Amino acid sequence: MQDFAGAFTLAFSLLASFDADLYEIVGLSLQVTLSAVLIAALIGLPVGALIATTRFPGRGLVIVVLNTLMGLPPVVIGLLVYMALSNAGPLGVLRLLYTPGAMIIAQALLVTPIVAALSRQVIEDRHGECAELFRSMVVSWGRAIATLLWDARAALLTVALAGFGRAIAEVGAVIIVGGNINHVTRVMTTAIALETSKGDLALALALGIVLLIVAIAVNGAVSALRAGTVPASHV
């Protein structure tokens, strides 16, 4: 119990003292994860909308594969990105390995199936309500997609949050492609893994608490944004 109490005290003292190293790690964590979620949204939302609104042979199989990819182990993603970005890999020329860029790529690959699969379900439900209206009004496919995405924006923000939660908490992919280099690629989860391996469990736990506070802050900010822009009756 003393360890837990000490960890909480340490976590808040780190935050209150504006520890430069801690804030650098928190900042990089947010930068990597928010960038990855943004990329995943830019790819995953149109893909989800496309699958939700079209019928084609093998669609059921595509949905099964997409849903399965939501559970892809981060270490597998990390390994694949590592192989692609290493000097011997096809993208080695980009020299991205052990940079935040590599970490963003890995997390984007991890989150994109989540955004695509969940948004597919959200948009398909809404499309079921509106499909006949759109046909009646002779709405083009592109405009129908844009309308569905806008109408489902509240639910899609929650989808993005699910992706954020998955990315900010994962360690397997970023430690493989980022290497946990101090002041370069160290993020919250890799720092926790490092402190745990060093036996400094109190500091590791304190960092975990900070990570939780950061996640709560981001979720709270998005919820406030949602409440401000999307009335409950539009949800």
Partner 1 sequence: MPLVVEGLRYAIAGRPLLGPVDLRLDHGGITAVMGPNGAGKSVLLRLLHGLVRASSGRISWAGRALDDGIRRRQAMVFQKPVLLRRSVAANIDFALKLRAVPDIAGRRDELMRLARLDHVAQRPARVLSGGEQQRLAIVRALALEPDVLFLDEPTASLDPAATLAIEDLAKTVRDRGVKIILITHDAGQARRLADDIVFLHGGRVTEHTPATRFFERPASAEAAAFLAGKIVL
Q: Contact between 73 and partner 1 (CB under 8 A)?
A: no
**Span of 33-41, 51-59, 71-79, 227-235 interacting with partner 1 by CB under 8 A:** 227-235
The residue (of 108 and 155) whose beta carbon lies closer to partner 1 is: 155
Q: Which is nearer to partner 1, 143 or 198 (CB)?
A: 143
Contact with partner 1 (CB under 8 A): which of 80, 151, 193, 209?
151
Span near partner 1 by CB under 8 A; candidates 48-56, 145-153, 187-195, 206-214 = 145-153
Query: In sequence order, what DSSP letters do the residues of 129-182 get, joined into one string?
Result: HHHHHHHHHT--HHHHHHHHHHHTHHHHHHHHHHHHHHHHH--HHHHHHHTT-T
Pick from 18, 136, 142, 197 the residue near partner 1 by CB under 8 A: 136
**Residue 138 interacts with partner 1 (CB under 8 A)?**
yes
Query: Does the protein bind partner 1 through residue 58 (CB under 8 A)?
Result: no
Residue 132 interacting with partner 1 (CB under 8 A): yes
- Tokens read off for 8: 């909480």
Alpha-carbon distance of 207 to 8, in angstroms, equals 9
Please tell me the chain's helix, strand, coil percentages from 3-state DSSP, rounded to the nearest 5: 80, 0, 20
One-letter amino acid of 153: R
Are 128 and 161 spatial neighbours (Cβ–Cβ below 8 Å)?
A: no
Q: Return d(Cα 102, Cα 124) in angstroms, integer.
A: 33
Stretch that binds partner 1, among 60-68, 72-80, 113-121, 143-151 (CB under 8 A): 143-151
Residue number with CB closer to partner 1 (32 or 144): 144
Q: Which residue has the tokens 């893994």?
A: 193
**By CB under 8 A, which span of 45-53, 103-111, 136-144, 204-212 interacts with partner 1?**
136-144
Cα 63 to Cα 181: distance, rounded to the nearest angstrom: 38
Binding stretches for partner 1 (CB under 8 A): 129-130, 132-133, 135-139, 143, 147, 150-152, 231, 233-235
